[in-house]
Structure 1
Amino acid sequence: MANSVPDRAQAPKQRLMIREMILENFKSYAGEQKVGPFHKSFSAVVGPNGSGKSNVIDAMLFVFGRRAKQLRFNKVSELIHNSQNHRNLELARVTVRFQEILDQEGDQYTVIPGSEFNVARTAQRNNESHYYINGRKVSTKDVTDLLKGKGIDLDNNRFLILQGEVEQISMMKSKAEDKNDTGLLEYLEDIIGTDKYVQPIEEAYKKLEEVNEKRLGMVARLKSAEKDKDALEDKALEAKQYLERKAEMLKLHINATHVFGMEVQVKLKAAEAKTTELKEKLAHERVKSKDHEKELAAAEKKYTTAEKAHVAAIDAAAEAYKELERKDAQNNETVKALKTKLKKATDKMASDVQQLEKLDEEKRACEAAAPHLVAQLERLNADLAESEAALESMKEALKGEVEGYHQQLSQVRNELAPWEKKISEVQARISVGQREMELLQRQETEAKKRLEKATKELEDARSAAGSKEQRIKELEALLQTRRGEIEGHKQELAAAQAAERKVEEELAVIREKSVQLRADLSASQGQSGVMRELMAAKSRGELSGIYGRLGDLGAIDTKYDAAVSTAVGALDNVLVETASDAQRAVEHLRRTNAGCATFLILEKQAHLERPASERIETPEGCPRLFDLIKIKDPKLRRAFFYACGNTLVANDLEQASRIAYGQDRRFRRVVTLQGQLIADSGTMSGGGRPQTGRMALGNAAPRGAATDARAAEAELREVDKQADQLGQRVAASQTALRGAEKELAVLETDLPKARMEAEANSQRAADLAQRMSGLQEATKVDAADASRIKELHVAVSKEQVNLLTLKEQWKFIRIVYKHASAGGEKLRSLKTKVEKARKKIEETEADISKKQVQAKSNGKQIEKIKKEISKQGKDKEKLEAELQACADVAKNIEDEAEKRDLIRRNSGIIKQTTTALEEELEKMGKIAKEESRRGDELMEQRNKHRKQLAEVLGMSFPWSLNSGIHMAFRMQKSADNQSDPDPIASVTMRFPTIHVHHLCWLFYVQATLLYADLQKLNPDLMAIEEYKQKMAEHAERAKELEAATAERDKLRKEHEALRKSRLDGFMAGFEAISLRLKEVYQMITCGGDAELELVDSLDPFSEASGIVFSVRPPKKSWKNISNLSGGEKTLSSLSLVFALHTYKPNPLYVMDEIDAALDFKNVSIVGHYIKERTAGAQFVIISLRNNMFELAERLVGIYKTDNATKTVAINPGRFALVKPEKEEDQEQRPPGFIQVASG
């Protein structure tokens, strides 16, 4: 980089220059016109207004890639020349011829061989446009890449200053408001070249944020692990102390066991001697047992073979037994069903036999009575004959007296006799028919009675079943109701408990908030010190335009405190009106050393007024954070919108994720009520204790720590009261729930009972319904019997009618007979006797007929019942045969079971024999092992206690306090009763005056007392292991955090290194440019001063920073650019352009009437500066001021005739040397002309 004016004496540098331009039908140029050639340093384009001077620059920009609209036209085809003499042209073309040169002395230069190239662009009538490099068709990118490679700044167009734009350079904003804008800071950084660090810095910052977010999560996990570890520390210490005391107890126990074991070793020696003797005997016995062993081996081989067969037999028998058990169960069910059928058949058969016997008895009685009745009838007939004879004798004696009546009597008697006989016969037939009908109808009547009884029982059973079903429904409904009530109580209890937990959480939060108030107040005092100083300066009139801290200028509901405190980082910024207000505030803080502050400039947020006033629809109805803030002054809304943007507030992280990662890209930034933030980039932050208190709560009024504390205490009392009420509500819900559960338990017990009773009634009804079909069949009369009953009924009815007729006639004849039978008492007596005899005869005849009919009917019934009994007998025999078959199956099963039991018994005998052999084999070995076993057990017990002591596993001591003391006293007593103690040398060496049993007694007493103390303790022995796990987890978390911290520090160093490189490079270039600006401005203004000043010198690239361009015109005070005149603004802009050219030269500059606002003096100064100090670049300047273009090395004249622009290039130096021409030679071209082009 060059920080000073290049010297002509320096070695020449290779640079690009435009040799000439060829315009064909472009805008005002008709035909092919050559503009140039241009001078290597300073060329001026002159011509009257409207001649087409600016079209030269437009042609150059057209080739450099500008669109038609950027050239003040709507379409490319409008760039084609169109005049009265040149209409409907199809093509416009502009060609710019470049070459690279090395500067020589004066106007001379050397063209780099092979460096010439042409860049052309065409515009066609169909609005197509094409680029060409050396006649080869290329793309726009190829052209721009070529020119950029040659050093032409096409990004910021620093080489170009159009008409009226010179003043805008100095009027640029101090910093760009968005990415699409360019401020003075970005303009200078692009020239300095440190903008190459912007993307790496952003990427490094993104990585740093990701790692920092990951580290914050690790910090939270480390704190959680440390909290868990600290929570277990006391329990682990208690368990450790418990184990230490237990270890001491086990040591005492081991010592006692060890001492006692030493005594046992003495006895063990004697036992070993005895064992040696037994071993000798055993050897002798082994010699004797060799034969037994051979026999045993053979027996074992035989036993093994038999055992395999036996096991196989047992397995087969077990499978067969299972099959037999299944068959036996099936057979038992069959026997049970057959017995039930047999019992019914037997009962029916017994009933039929009983009825048969009754009928047979009646038949025999009838048959037995018949002879007697016949004999009686004969006697009665004899008596009747005798009585009638006596009566005839008497009548004969009275013949004279009653002669007159004899004929009449005889006639009546003759008439009466047949009627009496007929009546007797009819009565007998009626009696027989009725008897036979009764016998036939009796069975039907009895069956109907049974059917009626069963029907009534069936109805009762169904009614009871229905009643129980209804009861079941009622119980189920009641059960459902109770369950619903229980569910309601549970929900109520859960809701109450949830509300109670929520209130408890609120209590914890409020308590924590109260505790944090003083800390927050202390933390805010540093910031309030800066604010007090700024506001004090404002009240003294030293500063103006300061509104205050942004977070204090609005208020928000408590619900959104964490959300706004987390999501809005600019709440601590100081809001000012303008950039100059911020600059003055920065200077004031610098002078007073009051501290640092970040400023938010309100005038720079004017473009946010409209979006801040819009009402937009948000996903899922989530509110914008900006809309939730209460702002006193509407003017400040755009500042809060700048800080908040379209950040949404979600209820939880799940809803926030749905919105942030959804389709609507406007709402990528979402914060939850708990302070969890999803940034525009998609990264999440938060999760620990959320930030609060960075904005006023409630109304936008000033807040204070004391007010917040009182409010927190009042809120604490209110929430505590709510907690008490919720506790009562939980208790009431629990009581109601327990009552409902008790009722539910009773109902759940009653319901199965009711179901069982209903099933029993339903089963009874089903059984009765099954019996109904049989009973209904029994009520049906046989077809023959029904026909017979019908016939008898008709016959009896007919005979009854005849009987009534006969009785009426007989009655009449009888009356006549009575009148005719007069003859005295004796005669009447005889007549009465005769009548009685006749009546008796009639009754006897009727009885005989009745008995005969009954016997005949009973005979028929007997035959029928015999047939039924025969059938039942066959069924019974069939059932008995089936039962016998089942019995045979059962017997076979029993036989198989007996065989299995026999196999089992044989197996037992074999096992007993084998066991006896094994016992005999082991008996001798046990004798030798018995004495050594006790010593081994003692040694094993000692080793076991040593292992317990080493591992300290927390086993329970095997004695209680009383049992330990009792054992100690028993040992003491045993020691006192021992007459000849045998002290052990090793013990007496350590305890020469203490007996072994006394020593053991002391050990056991101490151990027992320790055990009693341990029993009072109740430590959590698992706490040690848990504590170790938590320690390991804490160490692992710390290691992870250390690694994350190292990675964070590494990325932070990389980020800081990039920022430092950017800052150092920028500050170096900035200082060089600023210094050169001062020099240039002082030079062209003859004593003025200019300065580039950073708004924030510590961080030039912050949001509130930027670059302020201030100048002090000659003999005037320091002024802001906006307050300068047009000429002063032009000089300021040109000073900056020339300073930047000195810092980073551009090979080409094209300027359009930059001297329009300058006076005569300043035009001359600028012209001379360009001529003398800018030899290292090519300047093409359009000017109408002679003070400017007269200084140019080459003049390009622009003029228009016939509505077509033409050009002429003049070398002023050579033109000045030409002598005046003669008058006749004036039409010839003067020697000073290099080129004349005309239409």
Structure 2
Amino acid sequence: MKIKEIKLYGFKSFEQETKFLLNPGITAFVGPNGSGKSNIFDALRWVFGEQSMKALRCERNEDLIHMSADGKSDSNFAEVTVTIENENFFPQFGSEFEIKRRFYRDGESEFYLNRVKCRLQDIQALFLNSGTLTYSFLELSEIERIIHGDTKEMFDDVAGILKYQERREQTKKRLEQTEQDLLRLEDVISEMERTVRLLKRQARQTQLYQELKEEYKKLSLILLYTEYKNATAELKDAEESLNNYNQKKQGILVKLNHLEEERQRLKNELALQETKRTKLIDEINHLNEEIETLQQELIGYENELREFSIEYERKATSLQEKEDYIKNLTTRIEDYEAKLKDVNNELLTLNEKLAQEQENLERFSGEFVEATRKKEGLQRQIDAIIEHMQALKNELTRLELNKANRENILHKLNQEKEELIVIASRQSEEQANIEQEINKVVAEQDRISKIVTELQNQVLATEAKITEIANDIQIRQNDLNDCKLLIDALSNRLGKIENVKFVKQQFKEKFLGIYRDYITVHQGYEGIIDICLYDTLNFFLIDDISINDLKNLPEGRYGFILRKEKKKRDIPEEIKMFKPIAEFCEFKSHKELLKDILSDFFLTPSFDEALKYAELFPDYGFVTPDGVLFYKNSIIIQKGGFGYFQITNKLNEYQSKAETFQNEIIFLTDEKRKLSNQLSQMRSEIENYKEQLFSLNIKKSELSMHLNTIKNKLDSINSDIGEINNEKNKLTSEISEMNNSINEILHRISEHEEMFAQMEREKEQLEDLIKEIEGRIDEKNKELNQIMLKVGILKELKSVTERNISDARNEIARFKTEIEEITKLPAEDKRISLEQKINELKHEIQARKEKKVSLENQIPEKIIQELTKNLDSIYEEISRIQKEQDEIQNLIMQVNFRIFELNHKKEELIKKAKEEFQTELVEYVPEDIPDVEQRLNEVKERMAKIGEINPLSLSAYEEEKKRLDEFLAQRNDIIAAKQNLLKSIAELDLRAKERFIETFKEVKDKFNQVFSRFFEGGEADLILIDPDNPLTSSVDIVVRMKGKRIKRINQLSGGERTLLAVSLLLAFYLVKPAPFCILDEIDAPLDDVNVVRFNKFLRELSQHTQVVIITHNRATMEYADYIYGLTMEKPGKSKIVSTRLEDLEPVGVEEQ
């Protein structure tokens, strides 16, 4: 793929349409400063999707459009068109395709792909997914970025992870949006949970309150029924008591009647006795008359005087009794009258108080009726205002909703109209090409899917191989680890000789070494030598020793062997048949000295022989092949490989094995790495193909949707615009009318709210007044009931007292009549006359005295006295019974009052049950519940603790709980979506990390190669500051110039830094090669030598890449195949001159 043609119109300094034909090889644009060379570089970047005005050297978008110096020939838009020879780089296009970008002064921007209008992201996605433009544009600003250490974005760019980053950013934005949604939902859920908890608590309280209320009702009814039952029973008892008292009263009346009859009988009998006595006296008188006749008149007078005296005495006694009884009755009457007076006074007072209280009650009732009437009237007014306000608010809500709907519709209509106008201008042109492009996309999808399937099969096979190799590596790694553990264990068992360095320094030239370092043991005899020498192996060999040498030795155990000739002793003939142990050793130096140490030890073939000769020759050592040593009456046995030479042999053996395992692991790891590289490459290819499939799927979906939209919209677009205009006019008029109505309603609502507030205040005042009046009326009713009850009792008491007074007065009248009869006695002169006569006839009395005594003895005086005594007793009994009658009458009055109270209580209980609990108490059948009063008190206390409740909380809780469950389900869905997004981000990070590390290694190799070419003998390296996090780690550059130490980029000179930056840019390009490379004065900072090297590199690069360079350097011009010269004859207008260096003939320049 290469650029065939560039066409500029109105772009910066190119006023007229200007074409550039580009050929393979190196094309250079030259010219003086300010001639417009870099504008070509900007034009190419712009048409390929560059959006940064800073990168395009503009302050604003309008600066892209050509402006003449005089302002008369300014362009209306800027346009850049690039024709590209495809060469099958993009299979969806033919041999050529065209990209065009146009920008108008009004800010509208257009993109065309093959003359079909498209979007900026389509252009960017086309080249971003293919990676062709990653480093097609190189300029000095890139060098500055490298010099200042800003290379991370470049590495990301060349690694091709921008698409991952873009997708990651999109996914991250979706994640942030999801988190925001989740956060908002959490806030809503938190608030709803708080509300639900509150409602749940209220619902529980309401439910509990209702249950308690039902229990309160049940217990109260039971208690009311119990009180009613008790009152009924007590009323029955009271009525029975009243009957009993009435019966007692009747009994007392019967007794009084009986006593009265008995009194009357006694009176009659007394009268009879008196009559009888009178008759006897008459007989005596007759006798006296006879005597008087006989004794002449004296005796008669005496008798008459005596009769007169007796009669007077009798009547005087009866008169005194009656006067005493009258006094008693008079006293009782006075008591009754005083009591009646008190009762009348109390009745008068109570009647006056009753009249006053009734008057107050009537006054309070009138006030209550008047206040209630006012309240009801005010409530009717309030209800009317509320109803009117609600109607106004409903009308306001309806108008606002209608207004919002119409404004929303109007806004949508405006948007729809604008969209329809824009769509109408482009849909007709796009429809014809979409179906053809869809077919191409489907064919390409089929082709890529087959390739992906083949690659996936290869990936599975490669992964199986890698797994097999990894298992082998793990097995060998385990074996290696086991060897290392054994090596460490053997090394620890072997140990180190302490203070070797100090002994060496102490003895200096006298120090010869350590015994074990000078001896080598034949294979198979290591154990025998170890048991014979034991600690001697660790002894130091020295030439000489003095006491001073030993003084400064540190704490520890030391063994020394002096290099002195030892006098040889003769070996007994009996043991010469055994081999000396020294024959199984080799000595590196000091052979005689070292050999002499082993000269006393011999190898015997059996245990019995060793034991035998050890007893015969105790100064010699005899050792068996099994490792049993007999020496100086001692037996030493060594089991296991604990000897120095045995451990050393095993240690060497395991070290050899470890080295073998290490080499095998390195070989397998290298093979695994190669397969992993192949696998990464295949996965990368699969990802690339999947990205292409993803892009194709997106493109296919967009094209299909676009095609359907076009077909639907083209039919209705023209008619819709006309309908939209009519609808807009209609909506505008309706919204204006609604605004007027809304303002009017708001004003009326405000007035009604003020009236409502005022009336509510008046209503509250009336309610307070009514409550106060009701309290007064209840109080007055209670007082009236008490007064009426007292009046009834006093009236009954008055009636009883009046009857008692009447009865007493009748008795007094009767007794006075009797007294009047008694007081009718002879006159006093008669008595005197008789006395004179008696005195005169005294002598006659004596004569008749005996007869008189006889007659007097016959007179019933005792009977009369007894009868009189009995009458007095009857009078006393009557008084006692009348007193008992009074007491019973008082009890009857108390019982009547209690009956009245009980009847009133029953009526109140029935009324309370009906009003409070809507229950007929008479028909109520209670449950059998113990301790009702205690439980009722507990229920009251619990209800009081609960306090006020929300009666609507139960239904509100159910509704809010249902809504909360819906929101919780939404939260779970969002959390699941969040987890999926996090998983997608992790997968994108993993892919980007793998691709970045792979590309980083490639750039590292290429950079070193390019750097070595520019700096002969130099080396360069790239280092990740944080290798564990390569995607976020910055990159450090270190170099080593020939003959110099390693330096960082900030330690280099200016020229070295520039050339290093150019080397890195070229390394980027080599790793991510593009079909064409556009360079803007990138050779400017280089010296002549490096310019030549740079141009040679460009020449090699141009063999397979189209190179376009903007330059001032003559050496670079010499390497160019084609040169375009730019000048500016007129201010602000660039002019083009071209030449091919081979024939110096103008080519491909066309100016219009």
TM range (shorter): 0.3 to 0.5
* TM-score normalised per structure 1: 0.32
TM-score under structure 2 length normalisation = 0.35
Q: Give the greater-gyration-radius structure (CA).
A: 2
Higher relative contact order (CA 8 A, sep 6+): 2
